[in-house]
Amino acid sequence: MAQEDDLRGLAKVMEFMRAISILFVVINIYWFCYQSIREMGINIGVVDKILLNFQNTAGLFSNILWTKLFAVVFLALSCLGTKGVKEEKITWNKIYVFLFFGFIFFFLNWWILELPLPLVANTAFYILTMTIGYILLLMAGLWMSRLLKNNLMDDVFNLENESFMQETRLMENEYSINLPTKFWYKKKQHSGWINVVNPFRATIVLGTPGSGKSYAVVNNFIKEQISKGFALYLYDYKFDDLSVIAYNTMLKHIDKYKVAPKFYVINFDNPAKSHRCNPIAPEFMTDISDAYEASYTIMLNLNKSWIQKQGDFFVESPIILLAAIIWYLKIYNEGEYCTFPHAIEFLNKRYEDIFPILTSYPELENYLSPFMDAWQGGAQDQLQGQIASAKIPLSRMISPQLYWVMTGNDFTLDINNPKEPKILCVGNNPDRQNIYSAALGLYNSRIVKLINKKGMLKSSVVIDELPTIYFRGLDNLIATARSNKVAVCLGFQDFSQLNRDYGDKESKVVQNTVGNIFSGQVVGESAKTLSDRFGKVLQKRQSMTINRQDKSTSISTQMDSLIPASKISNLTQGMFVGAVSDNFDERIDQKIFHAEIVIDNAKVAAETKAYQKIPILTNFIDENGNNTMDVDIAENYKQIKQDVKDIVEQELERIKNDENLKHLIKE
């Protein structure tokens, strides 16, 4: 009842406004057609005096337009509270036509009074045009009021409700990544910034192929972090797409480092454009748990299905066996042969030879006890299964080129050493990713151990296409490396990829511990998960009822998704949604964004065109100008095999000559 009373009161106010508007029209006609009205015998002295008073005090009739202007103003006010009209198909074009002709008839009819016609005829034409113009303006006003009230109906995709003000400040610090944006809010385009002021809280970049995640986000992370003096570890799935960017950015900003960094590459496809590095260098393995970590990483990269079977007997057995071999090579002859290729070759020797050798060392005896029990107990089938689980996947990695790269010592993996900062790029190849990922995963696991220490240089780990490689310890790195100034940026296509290749538990930990997230177009559960993360906002809802008498509209409010899953599923290339984290002293009120990341394509194209190629890193040219790469690599391959053969022979001879150990050799 109270609402109905309010509506009745509003209707009366609008009727009063319209009456005033009509009164101004009548006054205009009475004043400017006064002589003709007098000839008709109409004479209202009181009105004359009142109008004359207005003229003397306010100059109301000094111009024929003043009273018309007041009439239109009150007419417009009266239209604001209108209930509307019965027509449903009112368009703005129709309104514009009525406004145009209404304006002409109502305002531009003054010349009629100056026509050389009888005064009565002039007055009649003047009143007729004024009336037509007034009616046209009234109809246009009513229709316009209805359309303006129904403006939510025009926004069928709910764009206005789901647009919001975003960060427009540029917030820079010595670690920040700042990306310029454009976004829509209140039907206007605004310029803004995505400010990743704390990259050490880790970043995820999602997006289906072609959504622009590498071009718009990952590339900018690489450029900005190198330009701010970060040490960098970069996993380049399609070598050398990202590595060329890192190399040229380093050349451009090498002055930003206190100690000039060195650029290193691991590339199994082309050893001439690769350095050599031993990922299990003995000086960086301080405990047998380091060997276990290395073994774990290798085996799970070679057998992705094992990730979700951790703890199974036939999963743990080959991992333990390989770990024992790695640690054996570390303690044998002061680690002279402690390389991964030597470990592979040693594993492929007869188990009748390697088991006695390994168990002859007290620190390995317990590790080998399950194998020795099976061997000595005659459980040959079980033993063969355990060993085959290690040999078969590792045999895929027997490659002269891979052996060459993984047996050298051109550099160490402590990339954020303040005295020797490094930009390290490791390159994969989609055609050989199952083989290379295992070896590269070993570099990953070792780097995680080495960079997550206090007192080191600020550093960044950028992994694009994360699911193509198993990065053991990634969840722990994200959770603990912030205090050690290690920024992690992970790029992949979809959460389901991460669930498939890392398992649900580890995938959830990664998803829930990152502080910064960018997402281009993603669909399904990933879109729903992100929508829930961005939360809800108060939005307007409108319903309309049309009957024979009138059209009524009701507007309500309710909490709904700020960025719905359907919108995330249909993002345009270059458009991203996401959220960033802030710092105590750098508060960001609006952390969520939905914007286009602005890229100067012409500038990027010019930079790319001017990029230098990564130079030849290992010189295989001899003094006679001959390319000896194939020969050198083949010789290295043979040497590794010979090294292992010599080790086995010498160790078996040692055991035979030792009374306390000779029982280990089974006749």
| DSSP letters for 585-630 | TB--S--EEEEEEP--HHHHHHHHHHPPPPPP-S--B-TTS-B-HH
End-to-end CA distance of the chain: 105
pTM: 0.75
Mark out the alpha helices in 33-44 (DSSP H runs). Answer: 34-39
Q: Return d(Cα 296, Cα 362) in angstroms, integer.
A: 22
User: Judging by DSSP bridges, how do beta strands 592-597 and 575-579 pair with one another?
Assistant: antiparallel
Contact between 560 and 537 under an 8 Å Cβ cutoff? The reply is yes
Angle, alpha carbons 314-319-324 (nearest 5°): 130
Q: Which of the 8 DSSP states describes residue 61?
A: T
Residue 399 token pair: 């490659």
pLDDT recorded at residue 326? 92
Contact between 356 and 656 under an 8 Å Cβ cutoff? The reply is no
Q: Return d(Cα 425, Cα 147) in angstroms, integer.
A: 59
Residue 259 token pair: 């100690």
Across the chain, which has 667 residues, the per-10-residue mean pLDDT values are 56 79 80 71 66 70 78 80 55 83 81 74 81 85 69 59 86 95 89 95 93 93 95 91 95 94 92 91 86 86 74 77 91 91 91 85 81 70 76 85 91 92 91 82 84 92 89 83 92 90 85 93 92 81 62 68 89 94 91 94 93 89 81 94 94 85 67
Output the DSSP codes for 533-578.
Answer: HH-EEEEEEEEEEE-SS-EEEEEEEEEEESS-HHHHTTPPTTEEEE
Residue whose C-alpha is closest to residue 320's, from 289, 353, 284: 289
Residue whose C-alpha is closest to residue 424's, from 416, 433, 434: 416
Mark out the alpha helices in 60-107 (DSSP H runs). Answer: 64-80, 92-107
pLDDT recorded at residue 166? 92
pLDDT recorded at residue 46? 63
What are the contacts of 378-384 at 24+ separation with CB within 8 A? 383/351
Q: Return d(Cα 664, Cα 68) in angstroms, integer.
A: 115
Residue whose C-alpha is closest to residue 106's, from 84, 136, 76, 143: 136
Q: Return d(Cα 74, Cα 51) in angstroms, integer.
A: 19
Residue 375 token pair: 């061997």
Contact between 444 and 472 under an 8 Å Cβ cutoff? The reply is yes
Q: Return d(Cα 486, Cα 476) in angstroms, integer.
A: 12
CA distances 154 to 91, 97, 160, Å, are 11, 20, 10
pLDDT recorded at residue 261? 95
Q: Return d(Cα 390, Cα 223) in angstroms, integer.
A: 41
pLDDT recorded at residue 650? 93
Helix 119-149 with 92-107: angle, nearest 10 deg: 150
Q: Which amino acid is at 176?
A: S
pLDDT recorded at residue 416? 93
pLDDT recorded at residue 541? 66
pLDDT recorded at residue 199? 95
CA distances 613 to 550, 589, 606, Å, are 73, 43, 15
